[in-house]
Structure 1
Amino acid sequence: MPEMIGDNVQIKLIRKYLKLKIVENNVLFRNHNQEKCHVYDIIKRTILQGESHSALVIGPRGSGKTTLINSVLHELSKEVDIASDAIIIKLNGLVHHDDKIALKSITAQMQLENAVGDRVFGTFAENLSFLLSCLQSGADRRCKSMVFVLEEFDMFCHSGRTQTLLYNLFDITHTKQAPMCVLGTTNRLDVMELLEKRVKSRFSHRHIFLFSNQNVEVDGREAPARSPLELYKELLVILLSMPACIGRRDVEETPRRRKAKGKTSVNIDELIQTDDSSNYTIPIEDLERCKVDIKQFRLDSAFIADWNTHIQALAATDSVVDSIEKFCYYINNEQIFRDILFQIVSHLSPNKPYIDATDITATIDKTVAPEHRVKLLQSLSILELSLVIAMKHGMEIFDGQPMNFEMVLHRYTKFANANSSTQTVPRPVILKAFEHLQALEIILPVRNSDSIYNASDTTASRVQKEYKLYTLAVPIEDINEAVKNFKALPTEISHWYNNSVV
């Protein structure tokens, strides 16, 4: 890569890096240190000491249950060779609720498809016992440690099916057949009531709760929990900032890694350890899993510093803070927040090199309360909705150009005259309905600084209200949804809306 690269290329590289960080970095877990240490201790004792444990991680959606387990496994991989000392098996209740599908996935993750072959087993327990026997090695015939992660744990507990999978897994934790740790994640507090008696008797009843309003430990002392607003502002800065280490030119290849991996690698660990922005860096494991070379992200250091300064200022903007506060009030889900940031980052381009506050506020508004505008449109009278439809059709004909009242009235009158069932409405009433749409901000006046009628010019105030230009302020998708679900909407108006405009 050349030493000097253009701003267009840097924007594309920043967009690629941030998208990878938002989507692939699933080990960034903040707060809940006590719960994290608990899970860490359980898995570590299973792998190193051959113990068997079972536990349930319970919390609302988006609280970080899966991220907690991924974060613990990521930290353990730095101390223990998980690839050779243990087997991680992940099942999801939405997919593997059937015993046959679950066994097939377990066999594949254990890499024992060839060992099973065409064998036929009478029961689930026989099949699982055979798989465990295939993993035994050494003179003492000890089995590898196994960590089962059961996401959507409550889906394995449906009353319509026998809980054979759970029974056999929990039963193994009570025997010396194999060291096993079974971790389930669920958002149901009543999950224990769904378990069969035989399953419940073999479960350890160890529950780990994750709630956003829990207190946290700071230097061994319990401190009040940080507000969701502070946490999401911090997350916004972490996910949208770039690490300063990739902007340096002294990144060298590591001979040790090149010899071990057999391929080119980058000595970025030392840079990260001495870099204050290490929280902004994608873990090397995630980059290797995505088969992405870190060397392609060599950006100009001044450009990265300017970008990070912009993100810091963006997080402190009042409109952004208000939008994040609204998000916390309505949803408070980190995964959805990541999806919002992903949408925003995807729109970065050479023509739009920076993120604006309006991008964040608009995307959050669209995600948090998309039904508000639809319900507002559905609360309109038939006449008011007809004017919105007339304006939509007119803007489609004139390629999105704004319209005044006379233009909208002409299209509405043309429709009313063509339908004898439509009641004739006096012009003052129609004008009043048009003004009501403006008061509701469904339509907004056009203010163009290039126009002769500048908003700051007194000439604009002398334009008659019938000839002031307006544009639609609601998305077309919301109008489609409102018309589709509008109760008691006359059939001719529905047909008028759905007809193609020529």
Structure 2
Amino acid sequence: MSKRKSKETSSVNGECISQVQRILRERFCHQCPNGKLFGVQLQYKHLLELLKRTTIHGESNSALIIGPRGSGKTTLLNHVLKELMEIKQVRENLLQVHLNGLLQTNDKIALKEITRQLQMENVVGDKVFGSFAENLAFLLDALKKGDRDSSCPVLFILDEFDLFVHHKNQTLLYNLFDISQSAQTPVTVIGLTCRQDILELLEKRVKSRFSHRQIYLMNSFDFKQYLRIFKEQLYLPAEFLYKPFIQKWNKNVQSLSEDRTVQDLLQNHFHCSKDLRSLHMLLMLALSSITVSHPFMTGSDLLEASRLCRMDSKANIVHGLSVLEICLIIAMKHLNDVYEGEPFNFQMVYNEFQKFIQRKAHSMYNFEKPVVMKAFEHLLQLELIKPIEGLPVRAQREYLLMKLLLDNNQIMDALQVYPNCPTDVKQWATSSLSWL
């Protein structure tokens, strides 16, 4: 009987941990509909009032939400739309069109997507438009025929707005802003961008039709608020299924936030980036260590997660190189030290490598020149070295000037953990002599 009870307890614990991970992962990936906004209450109120004027009172408008990546532009808009959709009148009438500059790469593709999202294919029937202009004329005519009292409001959301600016003649933007200034179908255009100079990129005729409403998100919170965000992101909600577990988990989160080591770690993270997505990445990695046998997050989990976050991608590539390729990188390092960062070519690297072989008298490193060239080209493909821009490329491959994209610290750190690295190669890397 006791074994059976123990088995049941174990299964409950497993289910409990699964639920914890599901809830927190949804929150960290911004898939939680009840997620919180941090430090953007004024912007939230501004955007909400703006969209209410369109959806309830039939006013047309346009605005830009501007802020660095990860500042919460999309999250802010999603929260505002969620609150709007709780109003019955809005839920039944509002039409939304979502465009993205990365997907709709020209006005023709964007227009097809608008037609699809507005379900206007049925209106078109079997009619085939001959050109982009005819498609646009049909769409504009359909939008202009309405009036603010009887027409459904239309909300255009343009993500990566700055990419739409590069479309030919900015035709789509011109027409959308033009409609948003008219007193016909209520239309609001909301653009999301990380470009601070976005207005300078607009053509004069487009800029004149834009309302010049700009909502800035700048991640202005201090470390004290950042620490509070850290706790709130980890706290389990009151409606969590396993009630006894909530108190233990939340108490553990509180003690983590008071731990000096964790605070120092978070402070370093905060100074590197206020981007909440980087905090979510840190917490996501720490959460992956939670298991039935290790049910609570620890400072060690956060330290390991921080190490993974800061892991140097280029140094990781070095770990997978052959000994020959490592030798070429060390030769480049010595050339950089001697010539103070001046560009080098393959022949210079080869000569430096040959001097190392002669000094060590090792047949194991004695590769034919074409083999060494192949290894050099592989480093180029991996983008550990790159050609100097602006120089003529007619020169022979051996004499094309290159630049090393690794610094000395990256090279030495990578060598420390390189598996089975020959001792003499390590000694050559640490030597200040170049044998030129």
TM-score (ref. length: structure 1): 0.59
Name whichever of 21-30 and 177-186 sits farther off. 21-30
Q: Please give the secondary structure, in 1, of the residue aligned with 2:97.
A: strand
* 1:50–1:179 CA contact under 8 A, matched in 2: yes
Alignment match of 2:364 (pick from 419, 425, 429)? 419
* 2:62–2:190 CA contact under 8 A, matched in 1: yes
Structure 1 pair 197–373 and aligned structure 2 pair: CA distance change class (3 A): same
Quote the residue 2:57 is aligned against: 49
* 1:129 partnered with 2:140: yes
Q: Please give the secondary structure, in 2, of the residue aligned with 1:62.
A: coil
* 1:231 partnered with 2:221: no
Quote the residue 2:12 is aligned against: 6
Quote the residue 1:15 is aligned against: 21
Quote the residue 2:124 is aligned against: 116
Structure 2: distance between partners of 1:475 and 1:177 = 68
1:51 shift after superposition: 0.2
Equivalent residue runs for 1:90-105 within 5 Å: 90-105=98-113
* 1:323 partnered with 2:265: yes
Structure 2: distance between partners of 1:17 and 1:111 = 35
Opposite residue 37 of structure 1, the aligned amino acid is K
Opposite residue 285 of structure 2, the aligned amino acid is Q
* 1:11–1:348 CA contact under 8 A, matched in 2: yes
* 2:38–2:229 CA contact under 8 A, matched in 1: no
Opposite residue 245 of structure 1, the aligned amino acid is E
CA deviation digits over 1:253-289, x for unaligned, max 9? xxxxxxxxxxxxxxxxxxxxxxxxxxxxxxxxxxxxx
1:176 shift after superposition: 2.1
* 2:111–2:136 CA contact under 8 A, matched in 1: no
Alignment match of 1:349 (pick from 270, 273, 291)? 291
Structure 1 pair 375–163 and aligned structure 2 pair: CA distance change class (3 A): same
* 2:289–2:301 CA contact under 8 A, matched in 1: no
* 1:331–1:368 CA contact under 8 A, matched in 2: no
Structure 1: distance between partners of 2:234 and 2:210 = 42
Structure 1 pair 473–353 and aligned structure 2 pair: CA distance change class (3 A): farther
* 1:62–1:334 CA contact under 8 A, matched in 2: yes
Over aligned residues, Cα RMSD in angstroms?
3.7
Quote the residue 2:218 is aligned against: 211
TM-score (ref. length: structure 2): 0.67
1:178 shift after superposition: 0.9
Runs of 4+ in 1 over 4 A off after TM superposition: 371-378, 381-386, 415-418, 440-443, 472-476
Structure 1: which 5+ runs fail to align?
214-225, 247-297, 387-414, 423-439, 444-471, 488-502
Structure 2: which 5+ runs fail to align?
1-7, 332-359, 368-410, 430-436
Q: Please give the secondary structure, in 2, of the residue aligned with 1:127.
A: helix
Quote the residue 1:272 is aligned against: none
Structure 1 pair 198–383 and aligned structure 2 pair: CA distance change class (3 A): closer
Q: Please give the secondary structure, in 2, of the residue aligned with 1:419.
A: helix
Opposite residue 183 of structure 1, the aligned amino acid is I
Equivalent residue runs for 1:175-324 within 5 Å: 175-213=182-220, 226-227=221-222, 229-246=223-240, 298-299=241-242, 301-324=243-266
* 2:56–2:89 CA contact under 8 A, matched in 1: no
* 2:256–2:262 CA contact under 8 A, matched in 1: yes
| Percent sequence identity over aligned pairs | 34
Aligned length, in residue pairs: 334
Structure 1 pair 91–36 and aligned structure 2 pair: CA distance change class (3 A): same
CA deviation digits over 1:112-164, x for unaligned, max 9? 33333443344143132255379x69xx9832111111111111111x62211
Structure 1 pair 109–340 and aligned structure 2 pair: CA distance change class (3 A): farther
Alignment match of 2:303 (pick from 361, 371, 374)? 361
Structure 1 pair 239–162 and aligned structure 2 pair: CA distance change class (3 A): same
Structure 1: distance between partners of 2:284 and 2:91 = 31
Structure 2: distance between partners of 1:337 and 1:127 = 47
